Amino acid sequence: MLVLVTLLACKKGKKEQTESTATAAEEIGIPECDEFLRKYEKCVSEKYPEISRAAAKQQIENMRNTWKQTAANPLTKSALAGGCKQALETTKQSTAVMGCEW
C-alpha cells in the first residue's frame, strides 16, 4: 500500500516549487522516513545534474506531504516505516551511479 502511496505522490502534477528551508527541514515523525528524506535531499542537492534537480526536489516534497498525511492516520501509520525503508533501499540503488552516499 505504501508503495502505491509513494507512486501517487511522485505522479502528482507539477506545481510551482516554493520550497523553503523550513519546509525542507520538516519531519514526518517516523525515523525511517525522516532519514530517507534527509539523505535523498542531500543526494539531490549535491549530486543531481542541475537540469534534474527541480523535478527531484518536487518529488521529495510530494513524498513528504503524502507521508505526513499517512503518518497522521492511525490506520496507515504502522506501515509507513517499512515503506520508507523500502524507498531508501530502492533509491539507494538507483542513485548509486551518481555517487550518492546513503
Rg of the chain over Cα atoms, rounded to whole angstroms, equals 13
In a domain, 50, yes or no: yes
In a domain, 27, yes or no: no
pTM score of the predicted model: 0.74
**What pLDDT score was predicted for residue 9?**
45
Cell numbers given for 12:
502528482
**What pLDDT score was predicted for residue 102?**
87
In a domain, 48, yes or no: yes
Cα 54–Cα 69–Cα 7 angle in degrees, nearest 5: 50
**What pLDDT score was predicted for residue 25?**
54
Inter-residue long-range contacts of 71-75, CB under 8 Å, 24+ positions, other chains counted: 71/28, 71/29, 71/30, 71/33
Our count of domains for the chain comes to 1
pLDDT digits (tens, 9 = 90+) for 38-94: 999 999 999 999 999 999 999 999 999 999 999 999 999 999 999 999 999 999 999
**Containing structural domain, residue 51:** 39-72
With contact defined as beta carbons under 8 Å apart, do 7 and 87 qualify?
Answer: no
